Amino acid sequence: MKSKLGHFLAFLLLFFFAIVFLIPIFIVLLNSFKSKFSISQTPFVLPTEDTFVGIENYITGINNTGFPSAFFWSLFVTVFSVAVIVIFTSMTAWYIVRVKAKFTSFMYYLFVFSMIVPFQMVMFTMSKIANILALDNPYGLIIIYLGFGSGLSVFMFSGFIKSVPLGIEEAATIDGCNPLQTFWLIVFPILKPTAITVAILNTMWIWNDYLLPYLVIGSDYKTIPIAVQYLKGGYGSIDMGALMAMLVLAILPVVIFYLSCQKYIIKGVAAGAVKG
């Protein structure tokens, strides 16, 4: 009975927190179908016949922000940045764990240290160097995201690789596999839970990131967070209806991606952080 009561109380607590976190998303979705004046006056009330505007806010937001172009650049930067981070950091972590040397130990702690350095400390220097090295474009932004995303990713991959038996790799070497074949055919498939977790965490970060694209590429190649700010008019006026609609379109892809892969998150985080 005590066990059942404990599970029931835990369920109620988690259900309460779920409601708390979902309420802001529901309010944004609710107001995306209301006129901009009614949003300011009655933001928590369901749309009525007088306040409901259908998809008018979505059409206005798409036209005023250039949403299709912004969506393309956000998708391009996110997909390729996440792919590069997963591939390079997994290989780096494998090298660090399997090659026992002072140099690899130094590399590991350097990656870990990078996680505690605030972005604000390096953002102006980074933007200047990006301009000098001609990285101030969507392609260069992928390289910059690789640098900022490497710390946590290497840490998680390293923790998981330490739990992989070395005998599996030795057997592959005896069968004639070179290091690259051993990694891609043997090690990387085993890293699937952690790789998906790393991909999810970096996707949510990169897709929603505003400051780094704004500093590096500015308005030449607008991503969704940058495009949304163009709904702000003169004297601080904001079309709240269009803004709410664009926020719904912005969070929808990452929510779908998260829900389709969320079962791997706890498994991957536990394997990468606890076992290491």
Reported as a pLDDT band with limits 50, 70 and 90, residue 270 is low
Instruction: Please name the residues in contact with 269: beta carbons below 8 A apart, sequence gap of 6 or more.
Output: 156, 197
Domains and their CATH numbers in the chain: 69-239+251-274 (1.10.3720.10)
How many whole angstroms separate alpha carbon 252 and alpha carbon 181?
38
Proportion of the chain above pLDDT 90, given as a percent: 25
Q: What is the number of alpha carbons within 13 Å of residue 88 lying toward its C-beta? A: 16
Structure tokens at 194: 């952690």
Residue with tokens 């990169």: 206
Produce one character per residue of 75-85: b if its CB has 16 or more CB atoms within 10 Å, e if not: ebbbebbbebb
What digits encode the pLDDT tens for the residues 91-117? 999 999 999 889 999 999 999 888 888
What digits encode the pLDDT tens for the residues 185-230? 889 988 888 898 899 889 989 998 988 998 888 777 889 888 888 7
